[in-house]
Structure 1
Amino acid sequence: MTAVPQRQNVMALVAEAVVAGARQEQACAAIDLSERTLQRWQDDARAAVGDRRPARVQKPVNALSELERERLLTVVNSKEFGHLPPSQIVPRLADRGEYLASESTIYRLLKQNGQLAHRRAEKPSKPRARPRALSATGPNQLFSWDITYLPSSVKGSFFYLYLFMDIFSRKIVGWQVYDAECSTLAGAVMRDICTRERIAAEQVVLHSDNGAPMKGATMLATLQTLGVMPSFSRPAVSNDNPYSEALFKTMKYRPAYPARPFANLMAARQWVGAFVHWYNAEHRHSAIGFVTPEQRHAGLDAALLRERTVVYEAAKALHPNRWSGDVRNWELVEIVHLNPEKGNTLNSETEAEPLTLKQAA
């Protein structure tokens, strides 16, 4: 709202322009003011009442009376309707030949009285805190895993790919295809990974979503025996496990991904084995400086990236007129984050929080 002193100043300027020969409409347009607003201000000034809008009380003529509001609240809170939303109450009243108010009016009345949420006898939703921020500065510190379906030749039946990856190096450290989905099989794969990678107790954090195989008693007992700390995503939030989700998309969008279902379990295992070899040993991963996951897992990426920088510096020295700025950035990605706090990035130089075996959020 425009204060009264400002109104008086604007009216004085317009009056001065009119006396100088300008039309009132043009004077108002020059200051982006509606002529009707100016007339209302002038009427308020003549009546010496100031701005009358805040004191104006507008009540629809068709509004419910207090008695009607009380009766409506009594009906919607009765034993018959107390557990139903207005969208269910209105048609039931209509079937009995009654009309008390529209659905939107009932919603508005309930909201005004603080009765709009959880009218039914159901468990209210609980707020879910995001998973604890984790980070890795080397291989075999932070793993992510998930299960994806692979189509079989039998409609409605699937094979299940268990896939474990090292988030720091992006290497697929373990996988297996089964015809069932259970925590016992997942525990067996994880036990094999710890043996091959020589994982010590309290060395690795394993992140996954909230599926039954991930939180099954057998899997949790296996992790406890191995000294691996579990970390879980929020229910139904796939973004909390982005590395595994991205890996599945890379796999299923490969040109070599079969257009037809797998004929049997062995065919599925053979195809996944070939994909894992390509991904680990041949694929230059864009997020880790275009080195292969195996090279990064083995610690060879730093030397490779330094050699690339030397090559580019030499090329620039040979033909400096072909370079408008610095050479391509081949810096080593030293830290990788999972579910970072706001402000952290994949290449953040902030010191990583040490990974300790505490119960993850």
Structure 2
Amino acid sequence: MTLAHVQEALQKGVRLEVVCERLGVTPRTIQRWRKPATAQDGRCGPRTRPANRLSEGEKRRMLAVANSEEFRDVSPKQLVPRLADQCEYLASEASVYRVLREAGQLAHRGPVKPPTPRPKAEHTARAPNQVWSWDITYLKGPMKGCFLYLYLVVDVFSRRIMGWRVHEEESSSHAAALIRDSWHEAGRPEGLVLHSDNGGPMKGATMLATLQWLGVAPSFSRPRVSDDNAFSEALFRTLKYRPSFPQRPFASSKDAKAWVTRFVAWYNTQHRHSAIRFVTPEDRHFGREATLLAQRQQVYQRSSAPHSAPAGSCRFNPRPPTDSSEP
């Protein structure tokens, strides 16, 4: 279509340079477009062989030297100057690279061990008290720039909060005491894995010694991976986005402990967690989940039947009533 317009303009006496200026192209582009698709490239390449081109014998010599015991572990950047120090010159650095590339030997040329597979360390929780996650978060303290520290442990399988403490400083000793008390309250589970990030209290000597004494296996986030401790981070987000979370700093450590106590009671016994099919963490932790889900499915089936039961006819109550007030 463009060439048709160009031809029409030329027939009317318009100069090719003016047409190209209006189209935003060069006259050479128009000439190339006019050539048939089968036109051969008429440009002339070099017709003579370079005088310094490497022969096949020189290439074999270069490969033999590069694969020798002395030079098989060095790159061409080091090979050329080291040969020059021995008063020997085979070829330029670029030529050595080109010959090695053609021979498929740009990788390590010496004897190497086969790669060792290193699978990502993952821990799967198929029951309560198999994998715990814990972390520390900041709470605004009574003075500007002063913080309180909430230590919190959550079971990965049930999402139940297994233990918590509020302290005025970060300490490996405080963390070790929390894990020890939570472990005892949970019935001293065997084979427990405790996951955390790479903070100081998590890797402190007191903490690691306590875990070894309890028989708890430590697990840490991968370096520079910000979401490797997602269970604790998600729990902290739920905590700080509660409507009742104070917008003003806590007046004291006592006030912070009182609020966290109410939150933990609500979270464990009333909060229906989306990741565990909308049952409460305690229902899942103590094995009431299957009964609840079966009763819920019956309600759904009755509602979809042609003559469904009237609303409010379900009287199933798997657990005693609790205080409905939120923290």
The TM-score normalised by the length of structure 1 is: 0.55
* Deviation (angstroms), 1:315: 1.4
Distance 1:36 1:190, change over 3 A: same
Letter in 1 for 2:4: E
Cross-structure match for 2:41: 50
Cross-structure match for 2:207: 219
Cross-structure match for 2:81: none
Matched, 1:142 2:134: no
* Deviation (angstroms), 1:260: 1.1
Q: Secondary structure at the match of 1:303?
A: helix
Q: Secondary structure at the match of 2:124?
A: strand
Cross-structure match for 1:181: 170
Between the aligned partners of 1:268 and 1:144, the Cα distance in structure 2 is 22
Matched, 1:39 2:18: no
Matched, 1:163 2:163: no
Q: Which ranges of structure 1 fall in alignment gaps of 5 or more residues?
A: 1-21, 29-33, 56-128, 321-361
* Deviation (angstroms), 1:39: 2.9
Q: Which has the higher contact order (CA 8 A, sep 6+)?
A: 1
Between the aligned partners of 1:54 and 1:240, the Cα distance in structure 2 is 58
Letter in 1 for 2:184: T
1:29-48 C-alpha deviation (Å, 9 max, x unpaired): xxxxx9975731656999x7
Between the aligned partners of 1:288 and 1:53, the Cα distance in structure 2 is 72
1:151-172 C-alpha deviation (Å, 9 max, x unpaired): 1111111111000000110000
Distance 1:310 1:160, change over 3 A: same
Distance 1:44 1:214, change over 3 A: same
Q: Secondary structure at the match of 1:299?
A: coil
Matched, 1:283 2:271: yes
Matched, 1:232 2:220: yes
* Deviation (angstroms), 1:234: 2.4
Residues 8-47 of structure 1: pairs in structure 2 closer than 5 A: 24-25=3-4, 39-40=31-32
Distance 1:211 1:130, change over 3 A: farther
Letter in 2 for 1:50: D
- Cα RMSD after superposing both structures: 3.1
Contact persistence 1:144–1:166 (CA under 8 A): yes
The count of aligned residue pairs is 219
* Deviation (angstroms), 1:51: 6.7
Residues 1-361 of structure 1: pairs in structure 2 closer than 5 A: 24-25=3-4, 39-40=31-32, 50=41, 52=43, 132-201=121-190, 203-318=191-306
Between the aligned partners of 1:181 and 1:192, the Cα distance in structure 2 is 18
Q: Secondary structure at the match of 1:258?
A: coil
* Deviation (angstroms), 1:306: 0.9
Distance 1:276 1:45, change over 3 A: closer
Between the aligned partners of 2:44 and 2:236, the Cα distance in structure 1 is 61
Distance 1:52 1:226, change over 3 A: farther
Distance 1:315 1:154, change over 3 A: same
Q: Which ranges of structure 2 fall in alignment gaps of 5 or more residues?
A: 8-24, 47-117, 309-327
1:288-339 C-alpha deviation (Å, 9 max, x unpaired): 111100100001001110111111111111359xxxxxxxxxxxxxxxxxxx
Letter in 2 for 1:137: R
Between the aligned partners of 2:173 and 2:40, the Cα distance in structure 1 is 81
* Deviation (angstroms), 1:54: 9.8
Between the aligned partners of 1:54 and 1:272, the Cα distance in structure 2 is 80
Contact persistence 2:211–2:218 (CA under 8 A): yes
Larger radius of gyration: 2
Give the % identical residues.
53
